[in-house]
Amino acid sequence: MNLMKKLNNRFYSKALSVSFVVVFFTIVIGFASSMASDKPGALLWGENCGRCHNVRPPSSLTDDQWDVAVLHMRTRANLTEEEAKKIVEFLKAGN
């Protein structure tokens, strides 16, 4: 608990906010050029779509509905552009 109290100290709290922002930009910029993964859509679907809730089978929605649902999940689950693209293609191919 003492650690937590220290964290709330004004100085620490400011330092923490600043380092948070710095870490975040370092990550974003640092990895912006990181190589694309070669995982296929089916694998990405299995890895990502059952983390929070049961996976919904491809047949449960139409192509247009999957476009919206995967866009929704891209924002909610912080999927990368590549993950979202491959997953939506996989879902559309299987419905």
The type of residue at 26 is T
Q: What's the Cα-to-Cα distance from 76 to each of 15, 33, 79, 83, 92, rounded to whole Å?
A: 28, 23, 8, 13, 20
Q: Which of 77, 89, 92, 95 binds ligand HEC (CB under 6 A)?
A: 77
Assess contact for 41 and 90: CB atoms under 8 A.
yes
Is residue 94 involved in binding ligand HEC (CB under 6 A)? Answer: no
Interface residues toward another protein, by CB under 8 A: 1, 4-5, 7-8, 13, 16-17, 20-21, 23-24, 27-28, 31-32, 34-35, 37, 47-48, 50-57, 60-61, 64-65, 67-69, 71-72, 74-83
Minimum distance, C-beta of residue 2 to another protein, in the bound complex (Å): 11
- Answer yes or no whether residue 70 interacts with ligand HEC by CB under 6 A: yes
The one of another protein, ligand HEC, none whose footprint includes residue 73, by CB under 5 to 8 A per kind, is ligand HEC
Q: What ranges in the chain are assigned the alpha helix state H?
A: 2-8, 10-31, 41-48, 63-76, 81-93
